[in-house]
Structure formats: structure tokens, C-alpha cells
Amino acid sequence: MRFAYEWHDDSGHWYRSYGNENWEFNDQGFMTRRFASINDLPITEAERKFHWPLGRRPDDHPGCPISASEGRCVRG
């Protein structure tokens, strides 16, 4: 899975976290292994790309593939 999300710390500093995860599950559906590579990029509030209330991305919001080498949204 490839992902990106934004968050702020208790001091109000903003970050964009992005990366890749691989999951393995057993026959009962429980996760048995998780491999993750996550990078936290400091951003200003003005650089935020995701502006919706707490929770999952709205269904009508376009996806935003993230380039790990550039730390930004990539448009096809």
C-alpha cells in the first residue's frame, strides 16, 4: 500500500508522512507481518494538500500519488 497523510505536533508544526507498507495475513485474517517505510517531511501550513475533517479521504476527492524522491504530489 502506498500512502500519504498530514499531521501536526503539539506545537503546531505540520508534517506530511508518506511511504509504502506491505502486509501479510494468516488464514484467520490476522496480520502476521508488516513492513513499512515511512518518511516525515516538515511542511508549512500553507503547503498542506489535504483539507478535510478528521477521518478518511472524502470519496469525491482525487487521489494524490506521492513521489517519495520529491516529497510532493505527482500529477500524471
Annotated domain spans of the chain: 2-62
Per residue in 16-34, pLDDT tens?
998 999 999 999 999 999 9
Averaged pLDDT, 35-46: 94
| Burial bucket for residue 14 (CB in 10 Å: 0-12, 13-18, 19+) | middle
Strand pairing report for 14-25 and 72-73 = unpaired
Q: Is 40 strand, coil or helix? A: strand
Average pLDDT value for the chain: 82
Nearest to 68 by CA among 24, 17, 26: 17
Topology of domain 2-62, CATH: Nuclear Transport Factor 2; Chain: A, (3.10.450)
Residue 18 burial (CB count, 10 A) = 23
> Which residue is listed with cell 484467520?
28
pLDDT digits 0-9 by tens, 60-71 = 776 655 554 554
% of residues, the chain, pLDDT over 70: 79
pLDDT, position 9: 95
* pTM score, whole prediction: 0.61
